[in-house]
Copies of this chain bind each other. A is one copy, B any other.
Amino acid sequence: MEQQSAVAALAALAHDARLGIFRLLVVAGNEGLGAGMIAERMEIPKATLSFHLKELNHAGLIESTRDGRSITYSMRPEGIRSLLEFLTRDCCQGRPELCALPTTDCCQ
Task: Show the binding face of A for B, using Cβ within 8 Å.
Answer: 3-4, 6-7, 10-11, 13-16, 19-20, 22-23, 26-29, 77, 80-81, 83-85, 87-96, 98-104, 106-107
Assembly of this chain: how many copies? 2
Say yes or no: A101-B81 contact (C-beta < 8 A), given A26-B90, A106-B89. Answer: yes
Contacting pair B87 A80 (CB below 8 A): yes
Residues of B within 8 A of A98 (CB): 77, 80-81
Contacting pair A103 B107 (CB below 8 A): no
Q: How far is the CB of A106 from chain B (nearest CB, A)?
A: 5
Q: Can you list 12 A-B pairs, Cβ within 8 angstroms, ordered by A? A: A3-B16, A4-B16, A7-B19, A11-B11, A23-B90, A27-B94, A80-B91, A84-B101, A88-B101, A96-B106, A99-B107, A101-B103
